[in-house]
């Protein structure tokens, strides 16, 4: 398998062959200057030209704990949402044409106090959501190509202390959500937002450590048009310690988000949001994994055939084998957690390969001492960036929050154009080169949005947000994926979730 040493090729035998501890090291990633001329971002544009898209939509889940179906008396919760259209400097040539158009928010269901529409590329619009609804970001006309949106919340004190971010995504007919757990006080809210005008029917299936979990409450869930439904995963998966949830939609699409929060008695253990960006595949790559203490890789096998799974981490110096669990078996229709806690502190990418399609994500936990508060984050697998990825950054008001862009190249050396927009709307760009099977980090101080345009190779990206206060470290990881640029965007085609399907990505 490309990118792995020959000794890590999948095998099926009565016992697993132990993997050697030798390392294959690559050189460190090297940031390089680049001309800020308009044409610099379009070097990768190849193939037949398509018309720029004129309407794009992204759904933010909204307050995840409000409006839970069958549950009344939910506590107050407020989240913030932001949206932006990519600056012209980041767009491939010919994508941004003409003038006019707008970027704006609407509520699902209707309502809410929203900021006025944006009419300039790179301009960020943002606002709070404190009622039981999702937020729909819509880019129209010349503002449609490269529309991105983000949701976040930051609670500094109390039992809800934590930092959480979510990528706002278009609706999908199929989503795989890897996250959650069964510790006392742990809750998973599943948000299903329907951006279309017609009702849809949703079926949920869950994988667990002992196999598939059947529940009559998981079938035939109806989500009204331009609305959302929130359910507790406990009603479907009970006390499953390692759930993976598959959301299947009939009659339309939904944007599915899993909110994993943890209150251990009266001790806040934080939380994060999980989204789905890739279908099951024989390769899954998870960028932006900040390990410094407890960390767990979760792998699920959607099909009925047992998987032989290989895992390793990618570092600034190249790939490294795992201290333990680098090759393991996972039964068909089940999940398995692999401990990464013995890795040295650092920010990694995790590369997972199976001989049958799998899904994967990592949970990282930051805690200063036993009995103290903590926070957790769920970095998820992302697809390669084919044309443009980007996100408006959470606006924390300069209150000590650090934000970093994490890039990973797999299989071969790669390079990207990283475009940033500052608080007064000025766009700047630089080229970043990443060696094969390595990671690179770009600081994002004073930045309101960041955009990644691929120039060569296979690149994935995520943004890590963290803050340290008297009670400890809070952190969250936001994945990045291709944005809609043209009327026929090949990178966004729906992938079939068949157990024998070809792997997602290259």
pLDDT of residue 197: 96
Q: For residue 235, report the phi and psi dihedrals to the nearest 5 degrees.
A: -70, -15
Kindly tell me if the per-residue pLDDT of 26 is higher than 60: no
pLDDT at 20 over 90: no
φ/ψ region of 458 (left if φ > 0, alpha if ψ in -120 to 50, else beta) reads beta
- Percent of the chain at pLDDT > 90 equals 66
Place of tokens 């742990």: 186
**The model's pTM:** 0.86
Place of tokens 């490294």: 320
DSSP character at residue 380: B
Number of C-beta neighbours around residue 505 at 10 A: 19
pLDDT, mean of residues 232-259: 95
Helix, strand, coil shares of the chain as percentages rounded to 5?
5, 50, 45
Position with higher pLDDT, 366 vs 295: 295
219-238 tens-digit pLDDT: 999 999 999 999 999 889 88
Reported as a pLDDT band with limits 50, 70 and 90, residue 500 is very low
The pLDDT assigned to 316 comes to 97
Pull the structure tokens for residue 224.
């009204």
Question: Is 122's pLDDT higher than 50?
Answer: yes
Please return the burial class of 418, using the count of CB atoms within 10 Å of its CB with bins 0-12, 13-18 and 19+: buried
Write down the pLDDT at residue 207: 97
- Mean pLDDT over 18-47 rounds to 35
The average pLDDT across 335-352 equals: 97
Asked whether the predicted pLDDT for residue 468 surpasses 90, the reply is no
In the predicted structure, residue 190 carries a pLDDT above the cut 90:
yes
For residues 476-490, one letter each, b for 16 or more C-beta atoms within 10 angstroms of the residue's C-beta and e for the rest, the string is bbbbbbbbbbbeebe
Count CB neighbours of 97 within 10 A. Answer: 11
In DSSP terms, 242 is beta-bridged to none
What is the average per-residue pLDDT within 304-311? 98
Find the angle CA(254)-CA(61)-CA(496) to the nearest 5 degrees: 30
- First and final C-alpha spacing in the chain: 12
Q: At 12, is the pLDDT very low, low, confident or very high (cuts 50, 70, 90)? A: very low
Q: Domain ranges in the chain? A: 23-43+50-487
What pLDDT, on a 0 to 100 scale, did the predictor assign at position 113? 76
As given in the structure block, the two tokens for residue 351 are 């590369």
pLDDT (mean) for 280-290: 98
């Amino acid at each position: 398998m490309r990118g792995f040493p020959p000794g890590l090729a999948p095998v099926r035998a009565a016992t697993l062959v132990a993997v050697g501890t030798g390392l294959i090291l690559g050189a460190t990633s090297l940031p390089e200057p680049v001309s800020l001329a308009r044409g610099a971002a379009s070097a990768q544009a190849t193939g037949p030209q398509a018309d720029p898209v004129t309407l794009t939509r992204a759904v933010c889940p909204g307050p995840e704990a409000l409006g839970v179906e069958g549950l009344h008396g939910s506590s107050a919760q407020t989240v913030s949402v932001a949206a932006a259209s990519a600056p012209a400097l980041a767009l491939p040539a010919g994508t941004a044409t003409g003038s006019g158009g707008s970027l704006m928010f609407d509520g699902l269901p209707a309502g809410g106090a929203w900021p006025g529409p944006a009419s300039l590329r790179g301009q960020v619009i943002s606002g709070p959501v404190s009622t039981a609804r999702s937020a729909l970001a819509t880019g129209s006309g010349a503002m449609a190509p490269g529309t991105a949106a983000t949701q976040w919340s930051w609670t500094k004190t109390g039992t809800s202390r934590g930092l959480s971010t979510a990528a706002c995504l278009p609706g999908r007919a199929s989503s795989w959500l890897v996250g959650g757990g069964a510790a006392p006080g742990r809750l998973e809210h599943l948000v299903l937002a329907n951006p279309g005008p017609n009702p849809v029917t949703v079926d949920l299936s869950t994988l667990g450590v002992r196999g598939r979990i059947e529940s009559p409450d998981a079938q035939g869930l109806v989500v009204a048009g331009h609305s959302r439904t929130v359910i507790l995963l406990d009603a479907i998966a009970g006390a499953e310690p390692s759930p993976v949830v598959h959301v299947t939609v009939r009659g339309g699409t939904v944007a599915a988000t899993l909110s994993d929060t943890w209150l251990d008695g009266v001790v806040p253990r934080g939380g994060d949001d999980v989204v789905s960006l890739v279908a099951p595949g024989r390769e899954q790559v998870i960028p932006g994994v900040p390990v410094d203490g407890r960390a767990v890789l979760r792998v699920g096998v959607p099909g009925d055939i047992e998987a032989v799974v290989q895992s390793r981490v990618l570092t600034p110096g190249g790939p490294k084998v795992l201290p333990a669990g680098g090759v393991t078996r996972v039964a068909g229709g089940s999940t398995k957690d692999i401990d990464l806690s013995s890795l040295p502190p650092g920010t990694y990418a995790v590369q997972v390969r199976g001989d049958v399609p799998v899904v994967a994500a990592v949970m990282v936990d930051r805690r200063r001492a036993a009995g103290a508060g903590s926070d957790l984050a769920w970095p998820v697998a992302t697809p390669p960036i084919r044309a443009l990825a980007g996100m408006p950054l959470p606006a924390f008001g300069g209150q000590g929050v650090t934000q970093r862009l994490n890039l990973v190249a797999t299989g071969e050396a790669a390079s990207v154009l990283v475009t940033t927009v500052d608080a007064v709307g000025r766009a700047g760009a630089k080229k970043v080169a990443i060696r094969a099977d390595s990671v690179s980090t770009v600081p994002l101080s004073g930045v309101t949005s960041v955009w990644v345009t691929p120039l060569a190779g296979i690149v994935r990206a995520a943004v890590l947000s963290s803050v340290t206060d008297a009670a400890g470290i809070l952190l969250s990881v936001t994945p990045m994926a291709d944005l809609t640029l043209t009327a026929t965007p090949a990178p966004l085609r729906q992938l079939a979730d068949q157990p024998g399907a070809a792997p997602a990505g290259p």
